[in-house]
Chains A and B, each alone.
Chain A
């Protein structure tokens, strides 16, 4: 039975080697897992950035346009009311024909005009109506180029493709090359992408409508879910006596956190739209639905934060004669706030990325206008991504990735704000 010290030491040494190996193996597994994770993150971001970056640049064409009174007032009657219905396409056509004098015939002219975005007409009309004195003058104006021209400049349409298989003819490519050589056509920063709402024409489509929609929706969500969730957590944790009812509520809250989001969408459709008759596609309803969705998350996180406050602080406050409300408001809540904010960030980040429940309440509709009120039709960023990913035009591919980048930037900004807020709360003592 009895072993010598040397024997025992030899045995320990042997087991020591085994333990060291096991530790090394475990470390290797960990490093491998983390590396794979990092690799995929890099791949994901790399692909999105590579695909999305071109969306931030856009082809613009600069033309000399003669605001021809003969076109705007075809009957010779000068009346500004006629400007609302005048043929502005003719002005664009005239300008292009002036540059490419050799173009003859209807078909060729139509092909030529196709190079400029349809928005040029609206731009011209707005310009002329804003100041009718411009009629009869020459103006150097910059318009959006058509999305196909944009794609050619970005190298997504090439001459090597047979003419029949591409959306621009050889003739059109020659004109584009000529315009580019004359520095009348170039890629510039795509301001419209950040200021326009959605559009069927890719070159006119922007994310601003979706950004504003997301802002409104999340604003409603935050204003509703944060106070309600914090109040619920405080009541359940600090005031409610533990009995069957509170147990039941607790189980239900935990279950609700796991309910698929589309179910909340159906609930929103049934309750808010069908029973209460709220407007379809509105950020208000979207915010309500997302508030329901994030409530359980924030409640659970807030309760955990309250549980984490040392009981000695509560005892100290109660011992000093603070009322239960004073104890909570003066001592417990400030200590729990950082944890509650973390829970809120998680909940809001989830809400920002939610698509499914919003489809149910009609926020998937094609909406051109930037929403101006909480009840005007709107869409949100992830739904915009979904809509564009579904569009056939080549130019929407980069816009989809561009919108994802904006969504990610939104998320980072939101989280950064919350982290700063949290740190400020923590530093107060």
Chain B
């Protein structure tokens, strides 16, 4: 990973009303005054936050608060939605994500994504994991590709369960296994950041626990941003928590602090279960 000059980290705009500290030392990603519009509707309002490496950031908030929208800004998935427009500054290691010259394909190779519903390709388990390395040309030959597939499946904790049936369709696995397959597929291209959009909302508690353990292990190598509806999950897996409300980033802070001592009234109401 290239070392970045700290002087290039842009300052937080003064109109930022977020409670808590939005900046971190040596941020991997910086967002400054990010707005997202769907047509005329402003779905995200002036969000500024830093993302640190080797850390899990949980984004929580009631439905429609803009947390998923914000997540999809990082790898420009909002590009695929007609009428969606992003303003403000988003930098990955000092490089503008929304710059005209930015290659979206390269960006998405660096910022992987795991979706709400497990969505393996309707191909074999092997081909699912090998897809990313193949399109990005990461393996010189079959042996190297085999190795990448094996390592990725091992790191996703799926290898022992599927090593005898790599040719079986990915869709034949259980929901929790499918989601781990999707994680294996994402880490196969060796990204720097993993975005997770409610990765456990379609899974049972046991599968959820396995994914949460996995997230904790993966933190050692990646920056992870997870959107979740479950406050318990946020408390379990994350080090930092960001609370969104109606498109505003209300409060950011250490997870322990947010859940024990929220400073903003809205945050307190949400985590004590008064709405959401």
Please give the residue numbers on chain A whose beta carbons come within 8 Å of chain B beta carbons, in ascending order: 241-242, 310, 312-323, 326, 330-331, 334-335, 429
Q: Which A residues are in CB contact (< 8 Å) with B82?
A: 241-242
In addition to A316-B185, A318-B77, A429-B169, 14 A-B residue pairs with Cβ atoms within 8 Å of each other are: A242-B82, A312-B115, A315-B80, A315-B115, A318-B108, A319-B186, A320-B112, A320-B132, A320-B185, A320-B189, A321-B107, A321-B108, A322-B131, A322-B135
Say yes or no: A317 contacts B117, CB within 8 Å.
no
Say yes or no: A316 contacts B121, CB within 8 Å.
yes
Digit string of B66-107 for contact with A (CB within 8 Å is 1, else 0)? 000000000101001010000000000000000000001111
The 4 closest A-B pairs by CB, nearest first: A321-B108, A312-B119, A319-B113, A321-B109
Indicate which residue in A316, A331, A335, A429 contacts B124 across the interface (CB closer than 8 Å): A429
- By beta carbon, the residue of chain B nearest A334 is B122
Say yes or no: A319 contacts B169, CB within 8 Å.
no
Say yes or no: B106 contacts A315, CB within 8 Å.
no
Say yes or no: A429 contacts B132, CB within 8 Å.
no
Does B123 belong to the interface (CB within 8 Å)?
A: yes
- By beta carbon, the residue of chain B nearest A242 is B82
In the assembled complex, 23 residue pairs joining A and B whose CB atoms fall closer than 8 Å, in A order, are: A242-B82, A312-B115, A312-B117, A313-B122, A316-B119, A316-B121, A316-B185, A317-B121, A318-B80, A318-B108, A319-B108, A319-B113, A319-B186, A320-B108, A320-B135, A320-B186, A321-B105, A321-B132, A323-B105, A330-B135, A429-B123, A429-B169, A429-B171
Known: A331-B121, A429-B122. A316 touches B115 (CB 8 A): yes
Indicate which residue in B105, B169, B182, B189 contacts A316 across the interface (CB closer than 8 Å): B182
What's the minimum C-beta distance from A58 to chain B, rounded to whole angstroms?
A: 54
What's the minimum C-beta distance from A330 to chain B, rounded to whole angstroms?
A: 8
Please give the residue numbers on chain B whose beta carbons come within 8 Å of chain A beta carbons, in ascending order: 75, 77, 80, 82, 104-109, 112-113, 115, 117, 119-124, 131-132, 135-136, 169, 171, 182, 185-186, 189
Q: Which B residues are in CB contact (< 8 Å) with A310?
A: 119
**A310-B131 Cα distance, complex, nearest whole Å:** 19
**A312-B182 Cα distance, complex, nearest whole Å:** 12
Q: Which A residues are in CB contact (< 8 Å) with B112?
A: 319-320
Say yes or no: A313 contacts B121, CB within 8 Å.
yes
**A319-B80 Cα distance, complex, nearest whole Å:** 11
**A252-B189 Cα distance, complex, nearest whole Å:** 44
- By beta carbon, the residue of chain A nearest B79 is A318
Indicate which residue in A319, A321, A334 contacts B135 across the interface (CB closer than 8 Å): A321
- By beta carbon, the residue of chain B nearest A243 is B82
Q: Which B residues are in CB contact (< 8 Å) with A321?
A: 104-109, 132, 135-136, 189
Q: Which B residues are in CB contact (< 8 Å) with A241?
A: 82
Say yes or no: B122 contacts A335, CB within 8 Å.
yes
**A253-B87 Cα distance, complex, nearest whole Å:** 38
Q: Which A residues are in CB contact (< 8 Å) with B104?
A: 321
Q: Which B residues are in CB contact (< 8 Å) with A320?
A: 108, 112, 131-132, 135, 185-186, 189
What's the minimum C-beta distance from B171 to chain A, rounded to whole angstroms?
A: 8
- By beta carbon, the residue of chain A nearest B106 is A321
Q: Which of A318, A319, A429 has the most CB of B within 10 A?
A: A319
Q: Which B residues are in CB contact (< 8 Å) with A242?
A: 82
